[in-house]
Structures are given as C-alpha cells and as structure tokens.
Structure 1
C-alpha cells in the first residue's frame, strides 16, 4: 500500500500536466486595420496568463497556445492596444479575425526653456537641477540605466511600506503574488522581452500586472527609484525594477 501511494504521487504531476496540455489549444488569428481592411504585420500578441508571445507575419497571421478564458494583449505602434478573451468558439473554430484602430495624435505645443546662467558658479550650480539617481540594475542589457547608491532613506521607506497595511506597496505586493511571479517568466520569452525593451508607454506592463500606469509610477516611487528613471526607462527596465523591489519585499517579509 505504501509503494502504491508513492507511485500515485509520482504519477499525479504527470497526469495533471497531461490534462493541462490536453485542455490547451493552438489558436490562430489574422489582424487587420479596421479602416482599410489591410492585414497588419509585426503586431505583438501576448497571452497575459501564460506570458508567452508571438508577432504576426507579413500576412497579419499568428498562432499561439492558449486556454479558454485566457486574455491576449494585442499592440502595435500607432494603433490602440486591445485585450481579447479566448473563447471556446475560437478554440473550436481554430481561427478568427481581429481589427485594430489607428490612434489619433494631437500635436502639443513645445516650449523650450533654456537655463539662464549668470556666470557665477555658486549661483548657477543652484539653478541647474540635478538628478538624484540612487539605484542600479541591468536587465540583460549592455549597460546600466541608473547610477548611484541607495538613498539613505531607501531601506526605511520600503520597510515602512511593507509593514503598513494601508500602504499602496503593501497591498500591491501582498495581493498580487500570481501576477508578480510572472515577472521572471516574462524575460524567458524573447518576444515579450524584446517588446518590453522597445516600449516606453507602460501599456504591456499594466496589462500583465493588472495595475494602472499611475500605479506603476507610484510603486517605483515607493521603492525609491528616482523620478528621472521612472520617466525615461523603457518597459523592460521598469519591469526589472519592480521585480528587484519585489525580491526585497519577500526577504524583508520573512
């Protein structure tokens, strides 16, 4: 009886994995411009649930493994990003057509304000703002994107957030363990990684983590990343920064 129980628990994960593979399906789709009807190549399609992604070919077509009720995040520069739910009908029919809408951009007035220097070093040093970048991290890139040491108050601020139930950081890290575990998975998929490295709009991170863009900025501020970094970093760097802060959270929470 004991040997049977051991044998059963050895086979159980294999059986569960087989069941999951059986319930998943390779879905297909064609993405078009909703105005012209033309197919759209190079569209990024990411399964938010599995954190796997693909890019449409020259015919606007893609194929991706998914489960029923999975959410696909679809984005292309110049078009409005959308989320699409994988339905049983889609899995049954294998393919579907998805339409994207072009964005309308309004040009804003640009005001250039050069620094007015006096020629006196002591005065000019106070007029020119300095960047207070306290942290460094490299997300598979050839060079770092923020310089310096930790701010003297960094540890205290993160620690205070972690143990304050009313704090935004406490609630984010405490209530989204599933989404945060995806952070490491994101970097394993080249399509997702390359997409994040080329974007600065926070849309994909927002979809993958289930938070708003403003919340992303607040999370990084609570983790003591500088305002300059939050505004200038690409999405891959932002994702890596959140992951670094989450790893600190897990250590301090023990």
Structure 2
C-alpha cells in the first residue's frame, strides 16, 4: 500500500513538473510601444487573460499549445508555446489592420442630379434603348400595336423622360431662385 501512495505522489510531481507558465509582452509591430488590454487565450484549454498597461501577460500553457492574441484594430496573432522547463518567455508584435476603400468614381463638375440621372439611365438602359418599329416592317409594327409588353415599355420610356425633366427643373430652379428671379412670393 505504501508503494501505491509513493507511486501516486511521484506521478503528481511529474505532472506538475510538466506544467508550464507562459509570460511575456505584447507590443505594437510598428512603434514597439506596449499594448494594454490585449486578450490572450490558450486555444487548447480556453484559459485567458488580459495584458496590463505595460503589455505584460502571464498564462498557464503547456508545450506546443496555441495561444491567440487579439485586440480591436489589430490583426489577431496565433503562436505556439515554445519548449521550456517551467516558464516560457514570449514577445509578440501585433500589426495594425489596414482598410481599403471600395472603388469609387470621381466625376468633377457633375451635380448630384446629373450623377443620379447617369446611374438611372444605366439601370434602365435596356428598356430605354427600345425603339418603335417603322412602317417598313409591317409585322413588327402590328405586333407592337397589340403587345401589352411593348405598350408598357413605351409608356415607361415616356414617363421616364417626364421624370427626368421634372427632376432637372426641381434641381435647377429651387423655390429661392424662382423667387429671386421673378420677385414672386408664395404660390402666386
């Protein structure tokens, strides 16, 4: 029985000797300044900690465990724990995230109305490009006269042109400009 107790104590001591602590500093990759409030997580055990204002952290981790470092505005870093007896040291450099703007088109000299008009014409280009048939093609001419779809398209073209004219007038001649040019006040 004494042998079993001795063997059990020996196993516990060996297991404790294998336990490892990881500590180190997290710094900005460009400036080298310490980063506080970085979340440090042992991916295997899900134990976590947060760096202090000097960038220092200490976390329980075994050899070859994955440790994740994350902070908003920085790219996440994953590092394996290096082999060490007892305590491992680590210096982690985090890189800032860089954002790209989406592509945009610069149209100097265009008003908001003109840009909107160009975009609407591009959206409805297929319907707006349809032309009425001439008398030279009698079958197409007759088919268009009785086709509901053709009538709808031509009605849309007519309304689209009316809307374009109205939007142009509304953007070009504001109520203040009309009052200034004519001297009229109100709805007279």
Structure exhibiting the larger radius of gyration computed from Cα positions: 2
More helix by share: 1
TM-score (structure 1 length as normaliser): 0.36
TM-score (structure 2 length as normaliser): 0.47
More strand by share: 2
